[in-house]
Structure 1
Amino acid sequence: MTAEGAAQEEAAHAELVALAAKQAALGEVPGAPAADAVNEPMIRHWLDAMGDTNPRYLSEGLAPPAMSQVWTMPGRHRRDPTPVDDILTTLDANGFTGVVATNCDQTYHRYARVGERLVPSTRFESLAGPKRTALGEGYFATWIVTWRTQEGKPVAEMLFRVLKFRPVRRREPYPLRPAVNADTAFFWAGARAGELRIQSCADCGELRHPPGPMCPSCRSANRSHVVASGEGTVYSFVVHHRPPVPGLETPFVVAVVDLPEGVRIVGNIVDCPVEEVGIGMSLRATYRSMDDELTLPMWAPRET
């Protein structure tokens, strides 16, 4: 992420934190009474849809407790504002458009009775994040809705928590993909983990790069690896101007880098004007994600 992108993320997070504190401070915000009173036709439809054969509901004029939310659910053209609205709108505006219902706990105080008109109230509880999840980075928003009779008697309440996440955008595959095989897989796995792995002989310990199937010294096929320090110096380099290379902006520098571990490795030099690159320049390894699967080790000037 660029410095500008990091600053934008920090500003968005600060905005969300401040808004969450403001909405939580509102406390319980009452909504409009239900458009319709608790009624037998709706109860009958519910029982039929749920396969609930308990005769008590209709015979005694009681609504199934799980119907509490039904009576005040907004229609297509009717929606009463709640303290949650601004939170969800701001999350959407910052790219957290995905929604997963992660938790819904209902507590029932008593049955709603036919003829009663329920009144909802909403209290925003908290906003937690950003959290990294398998779906993408997101925020957990939690609020509580309480239903009461018009006389103020509590009927039920619901704690609702959702994950609003930023969907992971899959990037186009990087066109210049390295060959990955049994000899080199450990190296590319290391790059994804932010490690510069150098192959070693499991018998004599000699390091070698590029990786290969056999030790050039003792001819052993037993292989291992070490994690290099990630430091190096420029042994030689070229500045590439032509032809154009897919996925790279010319001119760019390709260098042979001397590692203190005793081997050399080829890689791009980044974060440095091409005219400032020179033999003997001190470098540090940096890792660039090129697409959703490939990470390349590159080299940047080492701060002194």
Structure 2
Amino acid sequence: MTPEETKAFEEKIRAYVGLENGPPKRGNDDVNESMIRHWAEVMGDELTTYTNAEAAAATSKEGIIAPPAMLQAWSMEGYPMAANPAQDIQRQLHNVFDAHGYTGVLGTNTSTEFFRDLRPGDQVTAHTIIDTISEQKATARGIGYFIETVTSFTDQNGEDVGRQVFRVLKFIPADGANDSAGADAADNTPAAPTRIPSPRGHDNGWWWKACDEGKVLIQRCQSCDTLRHPPRPMCGECQSIEWDSIESTLDGEIFSFTTLHYPKIPGYDYPNTVGVISLSEGTRLVANIVDIDYEKVKIGMKVKGTVEQVDEKTMLPVFRVV
């Protein structure tokens, strides 16, 4: 873009700052014990204040509460957004970015505050605004802008129950140069976009290295032999920090799954079926389920995994129904 074009573009996107994303949206369902139980089961959270009314009544909570992390879930759109999402203000803003070559999108971070526990019968309403748009930034993913939205959550009495700040990066993919990035499209063939690279740190780098070598390892406590995944420094059973690992056979069954249709992030195939797989060793793993129509995927299906190269840079376990 020329300086004049950049100025005009930035004036256009900054006109969205301060706008409400749409009317306040009340969740389709009130806070209820069934959804709390499903959440706790999938997350493997055994805290009795979420699922056991009698035990919860004997605690300082004095009854069932919803896991705080469910706050946003009570007002999310659900499956309709995959087929025909409403063109709210945020999607209109993203369309402006897309039209100017900023086709990449990456959720970078979120911060959430919880003001009180939610209980069965509470009604949650979300109020979202476009809060800020950064100056143009040069990032590892490409040149782009950070967009922050702020969502306030209120209950049936209009009282605040939580607040969430969500930050995304809209960028021109660095490996998909175009005129907006200053490249000549006639002389450059954009490279195929790759998946978002895995975050590798001190506690999980060894797991990803094994994956690069075609193996899926499961961390094992050396004190009590408890298996655990994802990797972490301390055993949740005996608090030992001594561990080794075993190699998984990648035999398992589908414990839960979802199929992603939208938004379509470069580097991924859609529909994108992602499953929580119960491995025969006793731990669970999140991975893609491939080579099957997503409408035919069922909980309880037996699956077999292999570690495969899913793009130029990434090896990942994927599972097929057997």
Q: What TM-score comes out, normalization by structure 1 length?
A: 0.50
Q: Which has the larger radius of gyration?
A: 1
